[in-house]
């Protein structure tokens, strides 16, 4: 997972993301999803366990996003490759888009598409992570209406959260020191994650 940036989309009060609409927005941006996806499960340690292969409808890739389905699928677009993961937790949905970091740094398109995905999926927050270690999803939990983000991965490596976008909905983020910026992306305000002293 090295040299990749991941955007984690977290839902609002309902705990649900509109995953099908997010996939349709990715397709509308010129990306083509692979014809097959892998069913996945996230274990208690945050590790991805891959299962059987399922077909992705070419005319409507969002059709794969049935309620409760967890999967990973890749997509190719103009100058970019991205990976799309849907992995529900017990009380909330999670969607993750991963980009090669060089592509993100060189193009504003990745930022614009992230904002479009966030809006289409009805996300309340988008959390950006650079080169996360295996198992990092276990470090994001929800208690009532608060998402708690822990920099310490259960597998021993630090997690480098870099930015948080928040729409100001009914949920909040805890566990990180956030500094507001003047940048806005649609309904989302941007916050920079303050590094820990040893970062």
Q: Where in the sequence is the domain holding 162, given as residue range(s)? A: 4-193
Instruction: Label the pairing between strands 178-185 and 160-166.
Output: unpaired
Q: How big is the chain by its Cα radius of gyration, in Å?
A: 16
Res. 2: pLDDT tops 60: no
Could you report the per-residue pLDDT of 145-197, keeping only the tens digit for each?
999 999 887 666 889 999 999 998 889 999 999 999 999 998 999 999 998 76
* Three-class DSSP category at 55: strand
Joined together, the tokens standing for residue 107 give 């193009």
Query: For residue 55, with 0-12 CB atoms within 10 Å meaning exposed, 13-18 middle and 19 or more buried, which class applies?
Result: exposed
198 lies in a domain?
A: no
As for how many domains the chain has, the answer is 1
189 lies in a domain?
A: yes
Res. 108: pLDDT tops 60: no
Rounded mean pLDDT, 40-59: 87
184 lies in a domain?
A: yes
Which sign does the torsion angle of CA 58, 63, 69, 75 carry?
A: positive
**pLDDT computed for residue 59 by the predictor:** 83
Q: What is the pTM of this model?
A: 0.91
87 lies in a domain?
A: yes
Could you report the per-residue pLDDT of 55-82, keeping only the tens digit for each?
888 888 888 887 567 899 999 887 778 8
Instruction: Label the pairing between strands 140-143 and 123-130.
Output: unpaired
**pLDDT computed for residue 68 by the predictor:** 65
41 lies in a domain?
A: yes
199 lies in a domain?
A: no
**pLDDT computed for residue 23 by the predictor:** 92
Q: What percent of the chain is predicted at pLDDT more than 90?
A: 47
**pLDDT computed for residue 1 by the predictor:** 42
């Amino acid at each position: 997972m090295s040299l990749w940036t991941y955007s984690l989309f977290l839902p609002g009060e309902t705990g649900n993301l509109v995953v099908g609409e997010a996939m349709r927005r990715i397709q509308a941006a010129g990306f083509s999803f692979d014809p097959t996806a892998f069913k996945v499960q996230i274990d208690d340690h945050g590790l991805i366990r891959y299962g059987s292969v399922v077909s992705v409808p070419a005319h409507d890739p969002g059709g794969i996003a049935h309620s409760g389905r967890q999967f990973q699928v890749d997509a190719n677009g103009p100058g970019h490759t991205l990976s799309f993961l849907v992995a529900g937790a017990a009380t909330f949905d999670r969607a993750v888009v991963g980009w090669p970091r060089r592509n993100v740094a060189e193009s504003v398109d990745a930022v614009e598409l992230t904002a479009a995905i966030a809006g289409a999926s009805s996300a309340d927050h988008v959390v950006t992570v650079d080169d996360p270690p295996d198992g990092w999803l276990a470090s994001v939990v929800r208690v009532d209406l608060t998402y708690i983000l822990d920099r310490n991965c259960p597998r021993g490596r630090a997690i480098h959260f870099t930015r948080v976008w928040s729409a100001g909905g009914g949920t909040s983020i805890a566990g990180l020191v956030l500094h507001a910026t003047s940048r806005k992306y649609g309904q989302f305000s941007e916050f920079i994650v303050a590094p820990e002293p040893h970062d």
